Structure 1
Amino acid sequence: MLAHRDPLLLNSIDSYPEDLMCAGSVNFGRQVGLCTLEVGVGHETLRLTIEIFPAKIDYATDYQNLLSDVAGTSRALALEYLRATYQTGEARDVRDATSLDWLTLLRNEISLLDRSIRYVNEHPHRALSREIDYVRADRIKRADATIRDAIVRGRGRGPWTKLPGAGRIRSILPASRSRETLDTAEHRWLRLQLALIHDRLSDIHATVSAELERTRRGGGAAPARLVAEEEEVAGFSRSISELLALPLFDNITEPPPSGFASLTLLSGIGYGEAHRVIMVLRLGLSIRGESFDLSVMDVHGLYETWCYLEVLRIVLAKMGGSADLSTLLRVEENGIRVRLAQGRRTTVTCKSPTVTLDVSYNDHYRGLTGLQKPDIALKFRNDGWPDLLVLLDAKYRLDASDGYRHQFGCPGPPIDAINALHRYRDAIVVVRGESKTRPVVKGAALFPLSSAASSEFPNSKLREALESLGIGALPFLPGNVQHVEDWLDGLLSLAPEDLAVPGPPFAGLAERRSRGLE
């Protein structure tokens, strides 16, 4: 048997139980990092951990810098919940911990929480509870303070009787008895925390289930990974429900004292481990560390997000401004998904004395030929001029074949990635006044190529196309941002009448103008 948490990873694996063999291919796609597989034979299980490296960028430098830059802006943006690979990180005290942080930490710690609570259930610390019980006077062998007080005050039940040396007393007197109880402040605290965990799991499970239901209502098959996420969260919820149903918590209904803590809770066997897990769940995740396994974005999604953040940093620097991007960008949290808010809601506006520039991520434009969705849109706004758009598409694809090099002079994005920008320029139409206009003037496909591998780019046709056609491509990685910086610097220095020229004029339109027909 070959097993893995991500159901998509083993889609192509066939099992042959009679031969004790599994065979097939494993495709990690665009996932990078560590992967642990479980190989089971009979009662024996082997855990095999392998590491997957990216093919297009350097793992130790470019990939780690991509991850650090995105996480440095917003930790949760770099995280996913269920992927075939994982990185290692640690828990830290943060102000903006998300449900994704919380659930990832719980997944790492739920086995320890389960073992700890079950150990406490089997070996609980009990407290003595003093209760008042009524006892026949002739059965009392030793008078405690409660009995003496009852005799003096004449309290009790039943008929009066005489006691030598004490006078008249009731025949049934109140006596204090000590009994062992599990209703302690420690157990109240543990039950309250488990109930809070269960409530939060229920909320997350409801969100994932709703997402799954929407997918099924759409008529298509439910994604295997989404189904696995729903089943895993439901399993966590069942596990916590089973803990709450243990005899340890049977007669506990009251909350613990406010701010309660004790040496037993902090350091008792079982208690201390459960307390540590519950406190860890109040933290957030950092991608630096070795304590917890966490899934991160597929490398193409990570690259696209980094491109937007880095373009935004460059624009802010070029226009003489600076800002904490984490306060400018709106991040949407939906259950276990954290993304940059889509469309206009993620637009950041930058201003200089001469131009106002809107930098948008994943904006969309509806047209007669369909929806157009460039990754990054730069909208130049000048007084007295229509809005002019420069589009950037981040493509984590690289063609370094001999044929491509021969045609363009250096490695670059696939040709269809560049052709998409030509389509944007032609298909995106906006209404201005009573007429329709095409606002897109220039565009570039951003692709992952290191500084050392970009030595031929300045003389390539990709660069030449940017200058002559207004459409081309630019290499862009954490260690290779200069080409994009120079190009954006040139665009920002253009007067609107120069920026408005998209490239060589259409022959027929130029002839029409030369004949004075416009």
Structure 2
Amino acid sequence: MKLLFELQSDRVHLKFSQSVYKEPAILPNKDAIGRLVLTQHRTNLVWHKVWRQGLPPQIENCPKQHEGPCLFEETNYKLYARCNSGFRLDIEHPDPVIISDLDHDDQHSTVYGYINFGSQVGYSEFTVLVDGKPEFSFQVEVFPSKLDYASDYEEILASVQDIMTGLAMEYLRSTYQTGTTFTVSQSTDLEWFILLRGLIDELEKALNYIARKPLRGLKREQIPVRAEKIKHINGRVLAAVRRGAGRGGFTRTKNNIPVREYIYEDRPQSTLDTVEHRWLSRQLYLIQQRLNQLRLEERQLYDTPRRRKALQELGDMGKRILRLQGLEPLAAAASGEIPQGFVSLQLLRLPGYREAYKYCLALSLGLRIEGGPLQLSVKDLSLLYEYWCYLALLRLISEETGQQIPVKELFAVQQNGLRVLLNRGQEQRVCFPSKGGGHITATYNPSFRGEAMLIPQRPDMVITLENKGWPAMHLVLDAKYRLDASPDYIDRYKSAGPPEDALNSMHRYRDAILEFQSRSDESPVQRRTVVQAAAVFPGGITNVPFCKSRLWKALRQIGVGALPFLPANKEYVREWLRSRLKMGGFSIAEHTLPHSIYERARDWHSSAAEPVVVGTLSAGNQRQHLQWIIDKQLYYMPMLKTQLRQYATKWVAIYSPQEIRSPGAVTHYAQVKSIEIVQRKEILTPWPPKRNLEEPQVLFILGEVFERKIPIINTSGYRFTQHRWTSRLGLERAYNLEQLLLETEPEWRLFEDLTALGVKFTLDPSEPVRLLDKDNPYGRVWFRLDDGSSIRYAGASGYVIRRIPGGRPQYFVDYQELMGEIVMTSLG
């Protein structure tokens, strides 16, 4: 046990100690100056002893000194206090949870127990009471134990406040920060009530002053006046005389005119029902309505000690507002109307009115945690860290993709009583377009559930990579505001990092998140869709680079690991993110354990050897021909003696020309069940033959004819009048006719990676169409790069590259070596 400070007055003796003296291995703020501020409440209090750990002897016993020992989050502290016999001792704190472990002894003259601030950092103030009256208060400051207080913490707080201050705040917590007001379009209920709590005393003073010295107005009323005492003879008085209106009997004037004894005359009367009082009364009514709504919402939530105290404070505040509503000037004006666009110099100028007007307007302001007169409780650092991680991740994706973050649509905020949180789930998505027509989507707290999996999974953040032709790939990030820097941990993983149970959670996310995807035959199947899962933790920059740790290496090898992530240490997350965004599907598959994307890559590798004929429809009978193919499940074409692919065809695809759809596109496909050689006259069609009836035809007996969900469009506009050849890989991957030329997996890999790198190129089918060897397929397309070089896949020989047209070929068996050469020559 380590004594941190000791306070002794003429009535109370208090000790505050660290329960177990074991500092964390990494303590960024261990050299910071702590805080211990003493406030004397009893006038004749006498200090006998004030001792602070770590201060020089000449100032450690000075009650007016503000320096003290450092206290840290998530640490157990022991408090012991006793008072002179015959007195009752109590310890008070705004947060009832922080003192819930304190007990009393010796007929309530002794208080002892444990204090733990949890993940709260900032100022915290305790009040010592003797016989129910405040004796003295002591204020301490709690520092974060995993990140730098002066830089990382302040940046995390500022980033979250940029979205909404209420997201960073809580009501009734063990610590607080100082804050001030600033103008916002709409403040949250939490900000509003904290402002009201800070302004209510001054508002009461102002309204009580108005009640003592109210501003009265004049209101004209018709009152009965003796006829001889009427002061202003106007049209209304003359009309009353002519009609004989009034009260009492008739008398005659000097001119012998009969009039009533009493005639009604407009006389000004003093009144409290002024527009200024109506405006103030209306503001109190709105405050009371909002307090009632808050109390109703709080009552519907789970009962906790903090919520009970919050309800008590809401009730007490409502009583104070009700008393103010009953003040004579405000009660007299409670039912009056306020003119539209009302402006009053009296409210801005007169004492009492000026202050009340200012405080009522202040309730429409927001709050900012950046120093000021207000005490604002801040959310647990673990939740703030989670919010900051998502914000920082979005900024990194924005920087890497060159796309702006849609700030106005960034977050949906959930207000529930005195609590403001980010909405969680799939609706909290931010989507960025990527090169090659894909998308990158960052989701906050998605929920994976449904028939595909047994137990729902809910990681903190998910990055979804959607590339054309590939299933969606997820990268999971989980914010863990926990740090294990023990010698055993560092020896095992070569770095500090998140606890092992957090790493186990990453294994679970990688393997347990399942989603339904479609096979080539359209049937659904469950597949793992998480490529990598990493725990991000508050790790700072160390002498040994993090890239040498097992946590970094395992992320690449097995798809599970951890990454340090702080405002001052974002580079490892940036590097990891950048490497994933610049990979195509095939390259990502190489770094993935058996997975849906790996199975698709393997399937497409074998599909490169499955020939596909892209057939045309009979001119003038296109719609009829297409319907005949679908109904009869047949397709025929002239037999070509030089084309061996005809006899090995596995699939038939149908091109629908502009006569059927615009633009023309490959719209249907079917698997070949068998192949026959017949004469044209043996094939019965609704349209007459246009060729020699004796001409041999290759007749493909088809399975069910499917319509493609996404047609392969003819973007060039050239007429498609002859059969073309491709592979099943090309048929399943292509989105336009030009891409049908890519028949092998190595060609598609090169196509994807060049697109991801932003290298501009065209496709040139210069090689003849031949039957591919499934054990050694080769490409017939040249990739013509803008820098003049050309690349073609040459089968077992690797990739051949020519620097200039007709130049000497250079072969690359190592694909990574080829990509390095392209990057150096094309991207500089």
User: TM (normalized to structure 2)?
Assistant: 0.57
**Residue aligning to 2:122:** 33
1:133-153, CA deviations, whole angstroms, 9 ceiling, x for partnerless residues? 21345xx6x541159973796
Q: Rate the CA distance shift 1:166–1:92 in 2: closer, same or farther, 3 A.
A: farther
Q: Rate the CA distance shift 1:44–1:425 in 2: closer, same or farther, 3 A.
A: closer
- Mapped pair 1:9 → 2:94: no
Code of the residue aligned with 1:223 in structure 2: it is T
Q: 2:409 aligns with which of 324, 327, 334?
A: 327
The unaligned stretches of length 5 or more in structure 2 are: 1-89, 519-523, 603-828
**Residue aligning to 2:478:** 393
Q: Rate the CA distance shift 1:274–1:166 in 2: closer, same or farther, 3 A.
A: farther
- Mapped pair 1:115 → 2:213: no
Code of the residue aligned with 1:480 in structure 2: it is N
**Residue aligning to 1:481:** 570
- Mapped pair 1:251 → 2:332: yes
Code of the residue aligned with 1:491 in structure 2: it is R
Code of the residue aligned with 1:352 in structure 2: it is S
Distance in 2, matches of 1:462 and 1:174, equals 95
| CA RMSD after TM alignment | 2.6
- Mapped pair 1:299 → 2:299: no
Q: Rate the CA distance shift 1:407–1:391 in 2: closer, same or farther, 3 A.
A: same
Distance in 2, matches of 1:320 and 1:382, equals 18
Q: What are the residue-to-residue correspondences of 1:353-392 with 2, within 5 Å? A: 353-354=435-436, 355-366=438-449, 368-392=453-477
CA contact (8 A) 1:454 1:475 kept: no
- Mapped pair 1:150 → 2:240: no
**Residue aligning to 1:516:** none
Distance in 1, matches of 2:201 and 2:107, equals 33
Q: Rate the CA distance shift 1:503–1:323 in 2: closer, same or farther, 3 A.
A: closer
Distance in 1, matches of 2:256 and 2:312, equals 72
* Shift in Å, 1:371: 2.0
**Residue aligning to 1:465:** 554
Distance in 2, matches of 1:410 and 1:364, equals 31
Q: Secondary structure at the match of 1:26?
A: strand
Distance in 2, matches of 1:438 and 1:287, equals 43
Distance in 2, matches of 1:144 and 1:101, equals 57
Code of the residue aligned with 2:418 in structure 1: it is I
Distance in 1, matches of 2:239 and 2:444, equals 84
Q: Secondary structure at the match of 1:114?
A: helix
Code of the residue aligned with 1:229 in structure 2: it is A
Distance in 2, matches of 1:271 and 1:167, equals 52
* Shift in Å, 1:454: 6.2
1:77-113, CA deviations, whole angstroms, 9 ceiling, x for partnerless residues? 2222332222222221212422222222112212222
* Shift in Å, 1:18: 4.4
**Residue aligning to 1:100:** 190
* Shift in Å, 1:49: 2.6
Distance in 2, matches of 1:295 and 1:303, equals 16
Distance in 1, matches of 2:489 and 2:284, equals 59
Identity over aligned pairs, percent: 37
* Shift in Å, 1:457: 1.5
Q: What are the residue-to-residue correspondences of 1:192-231 with 2, within 5 Å? A: 192-210=282-300, 212=301, 215=302, 222-231=303-312
The unaligned stretches of length 5 or more in structure 1 are: 216-221, 514-518
Determine which structure has greater relative contact order: mean sequence separation of CA pairs < 8 Å that are 6+ residues apart, divided by chain length: 1
Q: Secondary structure at the match of 2:415?
A: strand
Distance in 2, matches of 1:143 and 1:474, equals 92
Distance in 1, matches of 2:571 and 2:357, equals 50
CA contact (8 A) 2:441 2:465 kept: yes
CA contact (8 A) 1:204 1:335 kept: yes
Q: What are the residue-to-residue correspondences of 1:401-440 with 2, within 5 Å? A: 401-433=486-518, 434-440=524-530
Distance in 2, matches of 1:328 and 1:448, equals 24
Q: 1:127 aligns with which of 217, 220, 224?
A: 217
Code of the residue aligned with 2:320 in structure 1: it is S
Q: Which of structures 1 and 2 has the bigger CA Rg? A: 2
Q: Rate the CA distance shift 1:75–1:132 in 2: closer, same or farther, 3 A.
A: same
- Mapped pair 1:443 → 2:533: yes
User: TM (normalized to structure 1)?
Assistant: 0.88
CA contact (8 A) 2:480 2:536 kept: yes
Distance in 1, matches of 2:428 and 2:102, equals 41
- Mapped pair 1:284 → 2:366: yes
Distance in 2, matches of 1:499 and 1:336, equals 45
Distance in 1, matches of 2:341 and 2:217, equals 20
* Shift in Å, 1:40: 2.3
Distance in 2, matches of 1:498 and 1:275, equals 66
Between 383-392 and 284-293, the greater mean CA deviation after superposition: 284-293
Distance in 2, matches of 1:256 and 1:275, equals 15
Code of the residue aligned with 2:475 in structure 1: it is V
Q: Secondary structure at the match of 1:295?
A: strand
Distance in 2, matches of 1:270 and 1:45, equals 34
Q: Rate the CA distance shift 1:47–1:191 in 2: closer, same or farther, 3 A.
A: farther
Q: Rate the CA distance shift 1:151–1:494 in 2: closer, same or farther, 3 A.
A: closer
CA contact (8 A) 1:147 1:175 kept: no
1:372-429, CA deviations, whole angstroms, 9 ceiling, x for partnerless residues? 1111111111121111111111100011111111211221110111111001111111
**Residue aligning to 1:219:** none
Between 398-407 and 60-69, the greater mean CA deviation after superposition: 398-407
Instruction: Give runs of ≥4 in structure 1 deviating > 6 Å.
Output: none
Code of the residue aligned with 2:583 in structure 1: it is L
Code of the residue aligned with 1:286 in structure 2: it is R
Q: Rate the CA distance shift 1:317–1:20 in 2: closer, same or farther, 3 A.
A: same
CA contact (8 A) 2:474 2:529 kept: yes
Distance in 2, matches of 1:484 and 1:39, equals 47
Name the one with the larger helix percent: 1
Between 458-467 and 329-338, the greater mean CA deviation after superposition: 329-338
Code of the residue aligned with 2:409 in structure 1: it is T
Code of the residue aligned with 2:444 in structure 1: it is Y
Q: Rate the CA distance shift 1:330–1:13 in 2: closer, same or farther, 3 A.
A: same
1:410-467, CA deviations, whole angstroms, 9 ceiling, x for partnerless residues? 211101111110011111111113211111111111010222x364422111112122
CA contact (8 A) 1:74 1:326 kept: no
**Residue aligning to 1:52:** 142
Between 164-173 and 387-396, the greater mean CA deviation after superposition: 164-173
Code of the residue aligned with 1:425 in structure 2: it is R
Q: Rate the CA distance shift 1:164–1:505 in 2: closer, same or farther, 3 A.
A: closer
